Amino acid sequence: MGVERSVSGNRWISRLDQAGQNRALAIAQTFGLPDLIARVLAGRGVAAEEAMAFLDPTIRNLMPDPHSMTDCEKAALRLLEAIKRGERVAIFGDYDVDGAASSALVYRFLRHFGVAANIYIPDRIFEGYGPNPVAINQLIDNGAHLIVTVDCGTTSFEALEAAKARGVDIVVIDHHQVGHELPPCHALVNPNREDDLSGQGHLCAAGVVFLVLVAALRMLREAGDPRVRSIDLLAWLDIVALATVCDVVPLKGLNRAYVVKGLIAARHQGNAGLSALFRKAGLGGPVTPYHFGFMIGPRINAGGRIGDAALGSRLLTLEDNGEAEAIAERLDDLNRERQAMEAAMLQEADAEALAEYGNGDGAAVIITARDNWHPGIVGLIASRLKDKFRRPAFAIAFDPSGKGTGSGRSINGFDMGRMVRAAVDAGLLVKGGGHAMAAGLTVERANLGKLRAFFTEKAEKQVSGLVANETLKIDGALGASGATVELVDQLETAGPYGSGHPQPIFAIPAHRLRDSRLVGQSHIKITLEAQDGGRLEGIAFRSAETPLGDLLLNSRGAQLHVAGTLGADHWQGSRRVQLRVTDAAKAP
């Protein structure tokens, strides 16, 4: 189609080079797969000899020996001791979906074996991330003989020292990056520690927790505990799949099996809390990764962002449908409240960014800040700014003392975490850290101007090059008549899609934009029409007041090239194809 620069600034290119096309041909011919499925697999780096195993990921084939993870056996043995002694256990989790899911898994396991356990989730604003000495001492004062930290704890040296000083064991089950120095704990199960050779560093915390529980269950079975016959860990894979999708870890290896089998478990509606949330979210049709990531995850996160951080983990432990309904309704209310706060904050952030940076073309890094913003939502604002301006972006909420809590999101190819750590080393931040695509920071108001200049200097050259060479990889082109439910079903066999295994993007070339209209607050719904009369419905989420949205709303009747992903929309008991629009360009 020759799209050199789309309305979003992308050059459209084929995902497959010549080697990829050869690999796709080999996959199709060797296994008799449809050409399109072979192209999708080849475009995601799947080797020909791995194709069939990739299409049918199983826990049995992909799960490693849990003991291959350093300290896993030690952690499992300590859980067994707690079960045998009837010790009181405290579970300390993070306030996001992965933390909630991980906490719920440990709680459910211990409850099954008669252990009195309680979950503690820190307040995002007042306590920050991870264990702190005050909370640890409080848990011990309340009778905890063992503390299990999940999705946190790897870098919490001071808090873990406090527990050690009082003679209380801590088992850390985590997946975040580990430094050279290890924390003082009874066991550290983290596949990203330097001496771990399990090759499972891509797992989220819930995925690691599941392996620890498998190891503990095996030991209990060998010890002859009769209660092992009435526990089914595989039925809990819906919780693991939820965390895997929402934590945006790569969908490769064991993670693929977790999600595939977890979706099956979720469709059985065996978890009272998840089922209640599905009903509140208005789920139509079978559960998909999209539902986890965009309907369930935000509602669980809403508790940690602006409400009671423990609501999500509590919900996932419930067996009582009435209590599950009540908590699901509370989380649904909080999510609506969060959406309203986010919309108001985003309007202010947009205005500041436009005043400070114009359309953003000259900015290396977008930084917005306000006194009245909620610190639990700044990460969402940063993500929206990054998407709109196609630049790394930060949003910072200042408190009355002049201390700002900020969160940043990056673009592909730019390591934001490294830049933030450099600012810490330069003395411009109170603290900060993160990874390539996201980071958090704390800054004094007096240093904000210096921080802008520092980030500009660090990022200007690389960001300008990345933006100038942005591309959209296209998996194939098809007409409206070719976008069928059967095609969507074929594509699903190569899923689930997510981080590291992106959903296929198709180009719909030279179609007439028959209709376009605003739906909701920021979505744009369109109808494309081909020369043969075939029509395809589409929607561009959160595109209002963006270049893409402006083009769609102002081009009715015009010929457009449109790109997006295909899905099946369930409506009044029937399935129909819907294009989720990601980009567009005027057709010559």
Number of domains in the chain: 3
For the chain, percent of residues with pLDDT exceeding 70: 99
- The span from the CA of 536 to the CA of 526, in Å, is 8
- The span from the CA of 533 to the CA of 536, in Å, is 10
Q: What is the mean pLDDT of residues 321-345?
A: 96
- Could you tell me the residue range of the domain that residue 553 belongs to? 475-586
pLDDT score for 572: 66
pLDDT score for 562: 98
What pLDDT, in 10s, does the model give residues 393-432? Answer: 999 999 999 999 999 999 989 999 999 999 999 999 999 8
Distances (CA, A) of 133 to 102, 157, 327, 584: 21, 9, 29, 52
Residue 506 sits in the same domain as residue 458:
no
518: tokens are: 């605003």
pTM exceeds 0.75: yes
Which of 209, 233, 257 lies at the terminal end of a domain, its last residue? Answer: 233
What is the distance between the terminal CA atoms of the chain, rounded to a whole angstrom? 10
- The span from the CA of 562 to the CA of 559, in Å, is 10
What pLDDT, in 10s, does the model give residues 166-206? Answer: 999 999 999 998 888 999 999 999 999 999 999 999 999 99
Alpha-helix runs per DSSP H in 253-391: 254-267, 272-281, 289-291, 297-306, 311-317, 321-357, 378-389
* Distance from the Cα of residue 188 to its chain's centroid: 24
- The span from the CA of 586 to the CA of 548, in Å, is 11
Residue 120 sits in the same domain as residue 183:
yes
Report if residue 253 sits inside a domain: no
- The span from the CA of 435 to the CA of 519, in Å, is 35
Kindly give, in sequence order, each residue whose CB lies less than 8 Å from that of residue 232, ignoring residues fewer than 6 positions away.
none
pLDDT score for 359: 76
Residue 212 sits in the same domain as residue 88:
yes
What pLDDT, in 10s, does the model give residues 503-534? Answer: 999 999 999 999 999 998 889 999 999 999 99
Q: Is the pLDDT of residue 90 over 70?
A: yes
Residue 99 sits in the same domain as residue 148:
yes
CATH number of the domain that residue 546 is part of: 2.40.50.460
- The span from the CA of 322 to the CA of 328, in Å, is 10
Cis peptide before 34 (omega within 30 of 0): no
Question: For residues 40 and 566, is the Cβ–Cβ distance under 8 A?
Answer: no
Specify the DSSP class assigned to residue 155.
T
78: tokens are: 């300590």
What pLDDT, in 10s, does the model give residues 34-69? Answer: 898 999 999 999 999 999 999 999 999 999 999 999
CATH number of the domain that residue 370 is part of: 3.10.310.30
Report if residue 332 sits inside a domain: no
Q: What is the mean pLDDT of residues 254-262?
A: 97
Mean pLDDT of the chain: 94
Look-up of token digits 């081909």: 530
Residue 439 sits in the same domain as residue 479:
no
Residues comprising the chain, all counted: 588
Residue 84 sits in the same domain as residue 132:
yes
Residue 538 sits in the same domain as residue 412:
no
pLDDT score for 307: 86
Query: 173, exposed or middle or buried, with CB in 10 Å at 0-12, 13-18, 19+?
Result: buried
Q: What is the mean pLDDT of residues 280-306?
A: 92
Question: For residues 469 and 461, is the Cβ–Cβ distance under 8 A?
Answer: no
What pLDDT, in 10s, does the model give residues 142-174? Answer: 999 999 999 999 989 999 999 999 999 999 999
Which of 448, 469, 490 lies at the terminal end of a domain, its last residue? Answer: 469
Backbone angles phi, psi at 279, to 5 degrees: -65, -40
Residue 424 sits in the same domain as residue 490:
no
Question: For residues 544 and 568, is the Cβ–Cβ distance under 8 A?
Answer: no
Question: Residues 83, 85, 88, CA angle at the centre, nearest 5°?
Answer: 75
Confidence class of residue 31 from pLDDT cuts 50, 70 and 90?
A: very high
CATH number of the domain that residue 158 is part of: 3.90.1640.30
Which of 181, 200, 233 lies at the terminal end of a domain, its last residue? Answer: 233
Residue 433 sits in the same domain as residue 485:
no
Residue 169 sits in the same domain as residue 190:
yes
Residue 228 sits in the same domain as residue 82:
yes
What pLDDT, in 10s, does the model give residues 544-571? Answer: 988 999 999 999 999 999 999 999 887 7
Report if residue 511 sits inside a domain: yes
Query: 572, exposed or middle or buried, with CB in 10 Å at 0-12, 13-18, 19+?
Result: exposed
Ranges of beta strands (E only) in 332-428 are 366-370, 393-398, 403-409
Report if residue 150 sits inside a domain: yes
